[in-house]
Structure 1
C-alpha cells in the first residue's frame, strides 16, 4: 500500500506523455534565456550603482582617482568572465 503513489504516477504519465513533458525542451530553453537576460540586466544595474557610489565617494574626497579606476577595472574584469569562460571552454574542449 505504501508504493501506490509512484505506481499511480507512472501509469498516469504513461497514459498522457504530454503531461510528463510539460512543454519539452523548447520551453526550458526559453525559460533559461529569459532568466539569463534578467540576470545580466540585474548585474548591469548593480555594477552601475557600484560605480555611481564610487563616483560619489570620489567627488566627496573620500577616495582618490586611482581607487575609482580600480573600481572600473573590477567591473570590467567581472563583466568579462562570461567571455573568458567561453574562450577557455573552446581551448580546453
Structure 2
C-alpha cells in the first residue's frame, strides 16, 4: 500500500486555499462585480492554458506512437482522458448555471 507523502497533501491544501480564497479578497477589494469580472478573466485564461496543455499532451502521445515508443491505443486512451476531463469541466459549469447562485 502506497503511503501519502505529507508534501503532496500540503501542496494540495495550499492549491485548494489559493483557489477558494482569492474570490473573497476580490469581493472585499471592489465589490461583487469586480470579483465576478476578475474571476471571468481568470477563467478565460485558465481555459486557454488548459487548451495548450492538452494540445501539447496529445502531440506528445502521437509523437510517441509515431516513434513506436507507445501504441496508438495509448493515443486513443489519452484522447478519452482529455475528453472526460473536458466533459467534467463543462458539466460543472452547466450544473452551476442551473443550481448556482
| Bin of the TM-score, shorter chain as denominator length | 0.5 to 0.7
Query: Which structure has the bigger radius of gyration?
Result: 1
- 1:52 and 2:66 equivalent? no
Q: Tell me the residue number matched to 1:83.
A: 90
Bigger relative CO (Cα 8 Å, ≥ 6 apart): 1
CA shift in 2, pair 1:22/1:82, >3 Å: same
Give the TM-score, by structure 1 length: 0.67
Match of 1:67 among 69, 74, 81: 74
The count of aligned residue pairs is 73
Once superposed, what is the RMSD of the aligned Cα atoms? 2.3
Q: Tell me the residue number matched to 2:43.
A: 36
Q: Tell me the residue number matched to 2:30.
A: 23
Work out the CA distance in 2 between the residues paired with 1:25 and 1:91: 20
Work out the CA distance in 2 between the residues paired with 1:62 and 1:90: 43
Unaligned runs of 5+ residues in structure 2 are 1-27
